[in-house]
Amino acid sequence: MKQSILFSLVFLLISGCGAAPKAPDVEINIAEIPATPTALASSTPPPTETFAPSPSPIRTATTEAENVIFHDNFNGFLAEDWQWLNEDPANWSLQTVPGSLQINVGRGFVNLNNAANILLMPAPDSNFEIETRLTFNPGNRTHFAGLLLYESEKNFVQAGHAYCTPVNRCVGDGLYFEAYSEGDLLKEPYAAQKFNQDSVSLRLVYKDGVITFLSSPNGIVWYRISEGKVKLNILQVGLVTGQNLKVAAPVLFDYFQIKSLK
C-alpha cells in the first residue's frame, strides 16, 4: 500500500516538471532607420535679401552717339544751356568734388515755388530721355534729389532718390516717381520702391505721352520703376533737389545727358 502511494506521488512530480512553462509572447518594436540622414546644423547664415527695384530687369540697347544731343560732365563749369531756378549760390559747387556738381539739399518744394537750386534747360521738341548718376544718402531725413520734367511749379514730374516717412504710400529710403497737376500730387502714376544704396543712375523716358522711370546700379542693366501717361507740356528738363525738413545733406551729380528718340 505504501509503495503504491509513493509511486503515485513520484508520477505526479514527474508529470508536473516534464515541460517548462511557456514564456508569454512579447511584442518588440524596432524603430525604422531614416532613408536619408537628418540635416546638420550649420553656422552659415541664410543669404540676405537683395534689392530689386522691379520684378525683372530690362537691358537697354546702347544708344548711338548721334542720339546724344546734350551731355555735361560738370568738369569745372556749367554748360551754357543751363538756367538756375531759385539759385542759392552758397549751396552748390563744382569745386568741392571736382568732376561733380554738388548741391546741398534745401528746404523748399517745387509745387510751392520755393525749392532752391533747380537746374533747368529747354526740353527737346520730340521724344527724348534724360539721364544722370547721383550719389546721395538721405538717411532717415526727408530729402529729395533727382530728375525733373518741368512745365511750371504746379505741373511737373520728378523722379529720384528720397526719404519719405513710411506712412501711407511712402516706403522710407527709396526711389520715388511723382507727378503733379495744378500743384497736387497725382495718385497715378506713382511709385515708391525701397532702396538703400548711395549711388544710382536714373533715367526718365518721354515717348508719345508716356513717361517711364528707370534706375540702374551700374548704367548697364536698367530696372523699370514706373510707367504711365501724364498730361504735361514739358518745357524744360533738368535736376531737382529739395523737401529737406531737417539738416541738409549733399548730393553729387556726376553728369546730365539728353538723348533724342524716334
pLDDT above 50: residue 122:
yes
Ordered by start, the domain boundaries in the chain are 82-260
pTM for this structure? 0.76
Determine the pLDDT at residue 135: 97
In this structure, which CATH number among 1.10.3720.10, 2.60.120.200, 2.30.42.10, 2.60.40.650 belongs to the domain 82-260?
Answer: 2.60.120.200
pLDDT above 50: residue 126:
yes
pLDDT above 90: residue 231:
yes
Q: Three-state DSSP class for 66?
A: helix
Q: What is the pLDDT of residues 38-77, one digit of tens each?
A: 333 333 333 333 334 444 445 554 444 459 999 999 999 9
- Regarding predicted confidence, which is higher, 233 or 11? 233
pLDDT above 80: residue 11:
no
